[in-house]
Chains A and B, each alone.
Chain A
Amino acid sequence: MIRALTTRRTELAPFLLLLPAVATMLFVVALPLIFSLWTSLTPYKLTKPNTLYDFIGLTNYIRIFGDWDFWEAFLRTIAFLTVAINVEFALGLGIALLINKITWGQRGLRTIMMFPMMFSPILVGFQFKFLFNDHIGVVNNALQSLGLTDQAIPWLVDAKLAMFSITLAEVWMSTSVFAILLLAGLFAMPRDPLEAAKVDGCNSWQVFRHITLPFLMPFAYIAMAIRSLDVARAYDLVAVMTDGGPAGRTELLWTLVARVGYDEAKMGQANAMAYVSTILSVLFTWYFYRKLVAARRYMGGAE
């Protein structure tokens, strides 16, 4: 009297529990993405609703890939992210190491560090727009009062300076993600390997390079993975600080999408660009998530 198999509801339970989450994501993200893909294959303009049904193949993609403005925004976005994230990582690591050294008031410092993370990007943008305003901004006022310069520096008007200011705002906003997670990594770091390395004759740089840093990498990848979910927040910064100006010199992929799609109402073309930006973000997240999983496995082996 042996029954071949007892199947229980428990095997369905995890899927049922996940159903609302998956359904929401499919409805609010996947479905629109499919719609967006279709739109990118049409000459759709908001002003001419019927154009949604003209299939024109890859024309939009061919057009944007042949468009220098697009490439400029694309490359600027890549450069911007590369610089911003590397600086954030380096600064975040520095801050984490610093705070790890401090024995008193660590908690308070950590809390303060979290604040920029919780700021609305639009607020960060506004804040730096306010600080960097050439007439009334506190930065110029301070520089002039101190006699370091006698004329107003056009922080948000000059193309190079504007890009610098935007990057600065981004770094200010996002460094704490790295600092906090790397600090958590330092707190979690076991003493034994450090002491073993010291006994083995490593100097402090070698200890850092061969013990501390590898241990911190999974934490860095968590930070990168979290950060990668939100890279497009830079849109908010630019939208409020320069709106892509002057003369499109701070245009990023995301602001370009908004301009082409909403201001010029060329939805077909904008969706093609949006797809490129989506793929960029997804690849970025995917890459760091994979790194995280790999690092985790490697850490698991050490435990």
Chain B
Amino acid sequence: MAEITLEKVVKKYGALGVVHGIDLTIAHQEFVVLVGPSGCGKSTTLRMIAGLEDITGGLVRIGGQVVNDLPPRKRNISMVFQNYALYPHMNVRDNLGFGLKIAGQSPAEITRRVAEAADILGLAPLLDRTPAELSGGQRQRVAMGRAIVRNPDAFLFDEPLSNLDAKLRGQMRAEIKKLHQKVKTTVVYVTHDQVEAMTLADRIVVMRDGQIEQVGTPMEVFNHPVSTFVATFIGSPPMNLLPGTIAGQTVRLADGTEVPVPDRLKDFVHDGMAVQLGIRPDDISPVGHGLSQDGPGAEVALTVDLAEPLGMESLIYTRLAGQEVQAKLYGPRIAAPGEVLTFRLALDRAHLFDAATGKSVRVR
């Protein structure tokens, strides 16, 4: 059982606070992704779990045991580094077996387990090569092999795919997911790429400036972002945000356009409240070219400024209430710049955020 818990974990470099009190429980065999913009403290958090960084305050437990003062080698974790960190003076076989050798395993056992790991990752033909003789994807696989060979309580990944090109990144993402299904182990995975977070995670932890902004399954985080930060960070293209004021049952946008307050949010707002209306591009579509046609909505005529056809869909740039918004047109139809189309806003999937705090109005 390797549950990882963080209790009010703090990291300071001198006077500079980098992680400001994180509470998080990662269940046994769970795949958790820490995601957030660069510099928000993800790596630092991961490295505190690994023992590579001193913990300034708070507690880190692995499998119930407080590990604050344990060096990395006593935590029974393994880690895949951003630049792979393969030992350049050893061949693939020795790279894989290094941890076992240090642990004092017998040569026969080492050979067996290296072969096993090599088999899982398809590394068998590469065992005698040195890291310099491998491609980026192969190095990545060796790094993962080195992680699994030791049978650790948890895998830690720090942006393992960021050095690969887009195509390979997609492939390796799938491999990591398959690997986790095969080798059921707790995983903490750091990335700044929300697509990786959405596709890989059992649970996503969105971080911002050294704090946890939201924790939830990918769908929770996507469907119920707690703040404008999460709303714009998760999902691509990002959610449109339109400033406005609550006037009775409507949101009055900057140019006076009135949009009804979604039913499910009615209880959370009051008259005169300054808000931001959030709608994903997928929820603004020309009538007849959207994802969902039923449910409450509002229709509005908008001028197409620019259309980016992507094949079966187009991304449309237009203006709503004096502000540039992005919309989606589904179907193989080309929209011309200047064309005026009636768009339907799927209000049942719209969000309202308190303009003062940036928090969702549902969060109190």
Interface residues of A (CB under 8 A from B): 1-6, 8, 10
Q: How far is the CB of A23 from chain B (nearest CB, A)?
A: 27
Contact between chains at A6 and B56 (CB < 8 Å): yes
Contact between chains at B57 and A5 (CB < 8 Å): yes
Q: How far is the CB of B20 from chain A (nearest CB, A)?
A: 13
A-B pairs with beta carbons under 8 Å apart, 22 shown = A1-B7, A1-B59, A2-B7, A2-B8, A2-B57, A2-B58, A2-B59, A3-B57, A3-B59, A3-B68, A4-B57, A5-B56, A5-B57, A6-B54, A6-B55, A6-B56, A6-B57, A6-B68, A6-B69, A8-B54, A8-B69, A10-B54
Complex: A2 Cα to B58 Cα, angstroms: 5
Q: Which residues of A are found within 8 Å of B58, using beta-carbon distances?
A: 2
Q: How far is the CB of A274 from chain B (nearest CB, A)?
A: 41
Complex: A2 Cα to B22 Cα, angstroms: 12
Complex: A209 Cα to B56 Cα, angstroms: 50
Complex: A5 Cα to B11 Cα, angstroms: 10
Q: Which residues of B are found within 8 Å of A6, using beta-carbon distances?
A: 54-57, 68-69
Q: Which residues of B are found within 8 Å of A5, using beta-carbon distances?
A: 56-57
Complex: A15 Cα to B7 Cα, angstroms: 32
Complex: A160 Cα to B54 Cα, angstroms: 65
Q: How far is the CB of A5 from chain B (nearest CB, A)?
A: 7
Q: Please, which residue of chain B has its CB at the minimum distance from the CB of A10?
A: B54
The 3 closest A-B pairs by CB, nearest first: A8-B54, A2-B8, A2-B58
Complex: A6 Cα to B59 Cα, angstroms: 10
Q: Which residues of A are found within 8 Å of B68, using beta-carbon distances?
A: 3, 6
Complex: A42 Cα to B140 Cα, angstroms: 70
Most B Cβ at <10 Å: residue of A1, A2, A4, A10:
A2
Q: Which residues of A are found within 8 Å of B59, using beta-carbon distances?
A: 1-3
Q: Which residues of A are found within 8 Å of B8, using beta-carbon distances?
A: 2
Complex: A234 Cα to B341 Cα, angstroms: 85
Q: Which residues of A are found within 8 Å of B54, using beta-carbon distances?
A: 6, 8, 10
Q: How far is the CB of A114 from chain B (nearest CB, A)?
A: 27
Q: Which residues of B are found within 8 Å of A10, using beta-carbon distances?
A: 54
Q: How far is the CB of B76 from chain A (nearest CB, A)?
A: 20
Q: Which residues of A are found within 8 Å of B69, using beta-carbon distances?
A: 6, 8
Q: How far is the CB of A159 from chain B (nearest CB, A)?
A: 58
Q: Please, which residue of chain A has its CB at the minimum distance from the CB of B66?
A: A1
Complex: A54 Cα to B57 Cα, angstroms: 59
Q: Please, which residue of chain A has its CB at the minimum distance from the CB of B55?
A: A6
Q: How far is the CB of B157 from chain A (nearest CB, A)?
A: 25
Complex: A155 Cα to B293 Cα, angstroms: 101
Q: Which residues of A are found within 8 Å of B7, using beta-carbon distances?
A: 1-2
Complex: A6 Cα to B58 Cα, angstroms: 9
Complex: A94 Cα to B55 Cα, angstroms: 54
Q: Which residues of B are found within 8 Å of A3, using beta-carbon distances?
A: 57, 59, 68
Q: Which residues of A are found within 8 Å of B55, using beta-carbon distances?
A: 6
Complex: A193 Cα to B273 Cα, angstroms: 54
Q: How far is the CB of A127 from chain B (nearest CB, A)?
A: 42
Q: Which of B4-57 contact A (CB under 8 A)?
A: 7-8, 54-57
Complex: A152 Cα to B267 Cα, angstroms: 110
Besides A2-B58, A6-B68, A6-B69, 18 new A-B residue pairs in contact (Cβ under 8 A), listed by A number: A1-B7, A1-B59, A2-B7, A2-B8, A2-B57, A2-B59, A3-B57, A3-B59, A3-B68, A4-B57, A5-B56, A5-B57, A6-B54, A6-B55, A6-B56, A6-B57, A8-B54, A8-B69
Q: How far is the CB of B12 from chain A (nearest CB, A)?
A: 9
Q: Which residues of A are found within 8 Å of B56, using beta-carbon distances?
A: 5-6
Q: Which of B258-296 contact A (CB under 8 A)?
A: none
Q: Please, which residue of chain B has its CB at the minimum distance from the CB of A7?
A: B54
Complex: A8 Cα to B70 Cα, angstroms: 11
Q: How far is the CB of B37 from chain A (nearest CB, A)?
A: 22
Q: Which residues of B are found within 8 Å of A4, using beta-carbon distances?
A: 57
Complex: A10 Cα to B52 Cα, angstroms: 11
Complex: A71 Cα to B68 Cα, angstroms: 65
Q: Which residues of A are found within 8 Å of B57, using beta-carbon distances?
A: 2-6
Q: Please, which residue of chain A has its CB at the minimum distance from the CB of B68?
A: A6
Q: How far is the CB of A193 from chain B (nearest CB, A)?
A: 24
Q: How far is the CB of B249 from chain A (nearest CB, A)?
A: 47
Q: How far is the CB of B2 from chain A (nearest CB, A)?
A: 21
Q: Which residues of B are found within 8 Å of A8, using beta-carbon distances?
A: 54, 69
Q: Please, which residue of chain A has its CB at the minimum distance from the CB of B10?
A: A2
Complex: A1 Cα to B7 Cα, angstroms: 9
Q: Please, which residue of chain A has its CB at the minimum distance from the CB of B54?
A: A8
Complex: A8 Cα to B72 Cα, angstroms: 14
Q: How far is the CB of B92 from chain A (nearest CB, A)?
A: 31
Complex: A170 Cα to B172 Cα, angstroms: 60
Complex: A2 Cα to B8 Cα, angstroms: 8
Complex: A248 Cα to B8 Cα, angstroms: 75
Complex: A210 Cα to B361 Cα, angstroms: 57
Complex: A3 Cα to B8 Cα, angstroms: 10
Encoded as 1 (CB less than 8 Å from any A CB) or 0, chain B from 74 to 113 comes to 0000000000000000000000000000000000000000
Complex: A2 Cα to B59 Cα, angstroms: 7
Q: Please, which residue of chain A has its CB at the minimum distance from the CB of B8?
A: A2
Q: How far is the CB of B5 from chain A (nearest CB, A)?
A: 13
Complex: A130 Cα to B273 Cα, angstroms: 95
Complex: A90 Cα to B55 Cα, angstroms: 53
Complex: A4 Cα to B55 Cα, angstroms: 10
Complex: A6 Cα to B68 Cα, angstroms: 8
Q: How far is the CB of A147 from chain B (nearest CB, A)?
A: 61
Complex: A293 Cα to B69 Cα, angstroms: 37
Q: How far is the CB of B238 from chain A (nearest CB, A)?
A: 30
Complex: A1 Cα to B66 Cα, angstroms: 12
